[in-house]
Structure 1
Amino acid sequence: MTAQISTLGQLLSAAGTQWRAYDIGRRITKIDKKQFAQIEGTLIPYPYPLAGHALIAIQFWDNNATLDPYVWFLKLPLDEQSKLVAASRDHFANMVLEALGTEITGEQAQGKLDNNPYVFTPNANKLAAFNALLKREINRPASQYYEYAELYFAGKLPENAWQNVAVQGLADFAFRLEHSHNAKNLHSVWSSLPIQVKQPLSAMLEHVPTGTHLSKLFYNDCISALRNKQLDILICNLRALSATKAQGLLLQATDLILADELANEADILLTLTGRCWEAFNEQSRLFILLDKAAHNTQVDGLFTSIFADLVAIPSLRPHVLSILRAENRSETLSRAIGRLFS
C-alpha cells in the first residue's frame, strides 16, 4: 500500500467517501470508526469472530450520492488471538487500488472486484436483513415486498397468504417494527404464525434489539415450547429473543433451557452458542453449556466446534480458558477437553 494509505479507513476517506462498517458474521452490528481503526491497527481483537474470520460489511457513498450506497462484503482472516491479519487487509486494499485507484464509486467500479478473494456473498437471510437495515438507516423506502408483509401481519390478507410473503418483506417488517402498528400486530399474531413464517422471521429478528413487550412474548413462548417439547418453536423464539434490549429475559430463558432435556439437542446448543453468546460471560452458565456439548453424541465434533467458536470471542476467551483448569469437571467434559490437545 502507499505511504499515504495504510488502512481501509484511509482508503475510503482518500476516495472522498462517507462510510460505515458493520459486523455481518454473527449479529448485524455497527462498528464505530474508532473501534474499526483499533481493529485495523491490530490494537484490539475483532469482537465478533466467526470461524477464524471477520465478516464485515462496509457501506460507503460519495458526498454527492443520489443512489443507494455501495457495499463491500469482506471476509478477512484473523490470527489465533482474533486479531486482523494485516497482510490480508493490505492485500485486499492493494487489489482495490490496482483495479480502481481511489475511484471506488461510480459505474467504472461495477464488477471490478467480483473475483477478489476477500469479497464474499452473505446468505439470503443476511443479505435481506442488511438491505432492510441499510434502507432504514439512510431513510430510503423499504423494498417493494414490505407492504404485502405489513398487510399480512395486520391480518388483512387471507390465512394462506403467508406463502406469498417474501424474505425481503419479512426483513423490512422486522427492521421497521417501530413504524405504524407493526410491533403491536406482530405481538398479536406471533404465537399463531405458521412455522414457515416464524423460522425466516426469527432469522431477521435476531438482528433487531426488541423492546420488553415483544421480548416477554418470545420469552413466554420459549417456556411454552420447553414444556411442550417443541424444538423448532423453541429455536425460533430463542433466535427472536437473542438481540433483546431486556437481557435479563434472555439470561432467564437460557438458564431454563440449559436445565431442560432439550438442551441435549445439538441444534439448541448451536443456537445458544451462535446467537446468545453474551449470556456465557457468566462462567457457571458457560460451564453447563460446555458440559452439555461434551455429552452430546448426535453430531461428531460438536464440542470441538463449540469450544473453538467461544474461545475465539474476546469477551469470552478468559472464561473459556479458565474451564481448562477447573477441578470440578465431569469425566466426560475432561475427556472432551483432553481430546482438544491430543
Structure 2
Amino acid sequence: MQHTISSLGELLDNAGTTWRVFDMGRRIQKIDKQTFSQIENNQIPYPFPLQQHAFLAIQFWNSHETETPYIWFLKMPLDEQSKLVQASRNHFASMVLEALGNQLTGNDEAQSQLDNNPYVFTPNANKLAAFNALIKKELKQSASAYYEHVELYFSGKLGFNEWQQLGLQGIADFAMRLTDTNQDNLIKALDQLPQPVVNSLAATLEHSPISVTLTEALYVQFENAVKQQNSENIINYLRMMSNTSATGILERAVAKLVTTPTLLNLDIVLTLTGRCWHVLENHVVALMDYLASEHDQDVFAGIFADLVAIPSLRPHMLAMIRMQNRSEALSRAIGKLFQQ
C-alpha cells in the first residue's frame, strides 16, 4: 500500500531531491522550508497572497543525477483567511505521484505530463527573466550570454542611446548582480538612461535586494519624477526601490504620494499595493480614502479585498472598518462592502 503524502515538502524529500521554494506573486522572494511547512500545514496564512492565490516556484534537483534543476510554477488557491486550500494541494500531489511516482527527476517525458493541470501557470517575461537570473546566481552559475553587453552598457562605454540591442535577460542578470562596480555604474547612469531602459530596469530590479546607497540615488530620481508629475517614472522608481533594505526611504516615498492625492492615479495606487504593501501599515486609511473619493465602488472593493488578504495588513484594514472619525466617502464605501 502506497504511503500517503501529506505535503509537497514531504513529496520532494521522499524523492531524495534538494529543493527550494520562491514566491512569484508580488515579487520574487525565497520562502524558507520551515515557513513553507507551516503554510502547508495551515499553521500560518500565506504571507504574500495575490488574487486569492499563492504563486509559487518550486525548484528541485537530484545532485546524483544532474545539476540542472526542475521547476514547477504553481498557482495554488487560498481560502478567505489566506490559508492554503489543502484539497487543491493534495490534488496536485496525487497528479505528481500518478505521473512520476517517487522518481521526480530524470524523466523529462513524464514531467511534461504535468504541464497541463489547473495549478500550473507561466510567469510573464519580465518575471521569468528575473527568476532565471536569480536561480543562476543562487546556483553560482554564469549569467546569460546577454549579461556582458548590458554590463558594458551601464558602464557608459557604449553610449546610453545604444540601448536597442540590450536583452531583457541581460538586464535581469545585471539587476541580480549588483557588485560594487555595477552599482556604482548604475548610479552614475541613472540621469542618462532612455525611457525603455528605465522601464525594463524597473521590471527586473524590483526583484533584487538593493542597498541603502542605491536606494538613496533612486529616491532622487523618484523626487524628480514627482516634481515633473511623471506618473510613468513615479511608478518605475517605486518599483526599483520596493525591495530595498532601507524601508524608511521607501516609506518616505509612499507617504509623499499618499499625502498628496493630486499625485495619485489608479496605476500608482496599484503599484503601491502590489509592490510596497510591506510599508503600507500607516497609510491604508489615506489610500482607501482616496479610492473612496476618486474611484468607483468596484475599484475600492477590489483593492480592499486585495489588502485585507495580506496577513500583515489585515489588522489595519479591519481597524479601518471600526474607525469612528473617517470621511463620509470612506464610510459610504465601507458600508457598501457589506450590502448584499
The TM-score normalised by the length of structure 1 is 0.95
**How far apart are the structure 2 equivalents of 1:259 and 1:16?**
53
- Displacement after TM superposition at 1:262 (Å): 4.3
Aligned: 1:339 with 2:340:
no
| Cα offsets for 1:276-312 (capped at 9, x unmatched) | 0011222xx1111111121223x77221111111100
Cα-to-partner distance string for 1:85-114 (whole Å, 9 max, x where unaligned): 000000000001001111111134341211
Change (3 A) 1:216 1:262: farther
Moved more, 100-109 or 204-213: 100-109
Q: Alignment RMSD, CA only? A: 1.5
> Which residue does 2:228 correspond to in 1?
228
Task: Map residues 110-149 of structure 1 onto 2, 5 A cutoff.
Answer: 110-149=111-150
> Quick one: percent identity of the two aligned structures?
54
Distance 1:163 1:295 in 2: 42
Matches of 1:65 and 1:142 in 2, distance apart? 23
Q: Which residue is 2:29 aligned to?
A: 29
Give the partner amino acid of 2:285: F
**How far is 1:133 from its partner?**
0.3
Whether contact under 8 Å (1:76, 1:85) holds in the other structure is: yes
The one-letter amino acid of 1:293's match is L
Amino acid at match of 2:121: F
Q: Using the alignment, how far apart are the partners of 1:262 and 1:222 within structure 2?
A: 16
Paired residue type of 1:135 = K
Q: Is contact 1:265–1:296 with CA below 8 Å preserved after alignment?
A: no
Unaligned residue ranges in structure 2 (runs of 5+): none
Q: Which residues in structure 2 correspond to 1:174-323 (within 5 Å)?
A: 174-178=175-179, 181-282=181-282, 285-297=283-295, 301-323=298-320
Aligned-residue offset at 1:160: 3.2
Structure 1 residues 159 and 221: alpha-carbon distance in aligned structure 2, compared to 1, 3 A threshold: closer
- Give the secondary structure class of the aligned counterpart of 1:294: helix
One-letter code of the match for 1:123?
A: N
Secondary structure (helix, strand or coil) at the match of 2:169 reads helix
Q: Structure 1 residues 250 and 30, CA, compared in 2 at 3 Å: closer, same or farther? A: same
Secondary structure at the counterpart of residue 209 of structure 1: coil
The 1-side partners of 2:124 and 2:111 are apart by 21
2:257 touches 2:263 (CA, 8 Å); kept in 1? yes
Q: Which residue of 2 aligns with 1:97?
A: 97
Residue 59 (1) aligns with residue 56 (2): no
The 3-state SS of whatever aligns with 1:115 is coil
Rate the CA distance shift 1:68–1:191 in 2: closer, same or farther, 3 A.
farther
| CA displacement at 1:5 relative to structure 2 | 1.7
Q: Secondary structure at the match of 1:163?
A: coil
Deviation at 1:260, TM superposition (A): 2.2
**1:234-276 deviations in whole A, cap 9, x for unaligned?**
1111110111111110111111111224443111111111000
Query: Number of matched residues?
Result: 338
